[in-house]
């Protein structure tokens, strides 16, 4: 029997790393990506083994390579679109290049992964896609409007994809966390402004992802699951 593969983007730290460890624990072989190879090596070591392919998920060429690699490793059962970029910018501060990057990393990258993986999932008659959105998609902190707008795009794209996937046994879940203790959050808010004990841990999000894959949340395809402490 072919091994069950889980592809996780943004797996070098934070929520992506915790998700990699949780899915390995759940029995999946891992294919991990992010731009920083050193971070991926660390995640792979912590997980007790993983295939890594470093690169930028906002590059369609890199995403194509990822899907080809995933399909060569086994059955691509789980995809977690987790890579993200969340600068807080006023409209005056936001250059058009920044706007393009926010859309590219948070929205287009997820679309590329789904687009290139779709024929693989259809052919194998099923799979689970988990797209990581954000509470900012409905209620952004000051300056997170551009990021929240991109994540709102994730919510809607995922709903439509979940409907298309039904006929093929493909589920598409969207998880939209509030604040989580990661380097992304700490670039925005200090522990003094938002103490660690008031926010979620990356492991909390990983737990919800595993519940979507094969647990209590597996009947939530198409829903946006908002999580906050």
Q: Is 16 in the site for ligand NAP (CB under 6 A)?
A: yes
Give the separation between CA 47 and CA 222, rounded to whole angstroms.
29
Q: Which of 89, 179, 208, 217 binds ligand NAP (CB under 6 A)?
A: 179
Q: Is 210 in the site for ligand NAP (CB under 6 A)?
A: no
Nearest to 222 by CA among 152, 168, 175, 153: 175
Q: Is 15 in the site for ligand NAP (CB under 6 A)?
A: yes
Verify whether residue 28 is a known catalytic residue. no
Q: Which of 5, 8, 12, 71 binds ligand NAP (CB under 6 A)?
A: 12
Give the separation between CA 175 and CA 11, rounded to whole angstroms.
16
Q: Is 63 in the site for ligand NAP (CB under 6 A)?
A: no
Q: Is 31 in the site for ligand NAP (CB under 6 A)?
A: no
Q: Which of 4, 26, 41, 56 binds ligand NAP (CB under 6 A)?
A: 56
The two three-digit tokens of residue 187, written as one number: 């670039």
The two three-digit tokens of residue 130, written as one number: 């988990």
Sequence-distant (6+) residues with CB within 8 A of 30 are 5, 6, 8, 11, 20, 23, 24, 44, 47, 49, 50, 51
Catalytic center residues: 147
Summarize as ranges the residues that interact with ligand NAP (CB under 6 A).
Answer: 9-10, 12-16, 33-36, 39, 56-58, 82-86, 105, 132, 134, 177, 179-180, 182-185
């Amino acid at each position: 029997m072919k091994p069950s593969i889980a592809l996780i983007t943004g797996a070098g730290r934070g929520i992506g790393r915790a998700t990699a460890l949780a899915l390995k624990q759940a029995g999946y072989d891992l294919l991990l990506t992010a731009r920083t190879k050193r971070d991926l090596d660390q995640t792979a070591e912590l997980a007790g083994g993983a295939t890594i392919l470093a690169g930028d998920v906002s590059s369609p060429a890199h995403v194509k390579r990822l899907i080809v690699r995933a399909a060569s490793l086994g059955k691509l059962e789980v995809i977690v679109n987790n890579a993200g970029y969340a600068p807080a910018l006023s409209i005056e501060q936001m250059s058009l290049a920044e706007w393009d990057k926010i859309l590219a990393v948070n929205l287009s990258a997820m679309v590329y992964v789904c687009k290139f993986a779709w024929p693989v999932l259809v052919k194998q008659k099923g799979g689970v896609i988990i797209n990581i959105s954000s509470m900012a998609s409905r209620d952004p902190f000051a300056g997170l409007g551009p990021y929240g707008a991109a994540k709102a795009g994730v919510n809607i794209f995922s709903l439509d994809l979940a409907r298309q996937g039904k006929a093929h046994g493909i589920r598409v879940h969207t998880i939209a966390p509030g604040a989580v203790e990661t380097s992304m959050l700490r670039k925005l808010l200090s522990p003094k402004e938002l103490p660690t004990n008031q926010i979620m841990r990356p492991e909390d999000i990983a737990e919800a992802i595993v519940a979507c894959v094969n647990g209590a949340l597996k009947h939530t395809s198409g829903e946006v699951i908002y999580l906050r402490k």
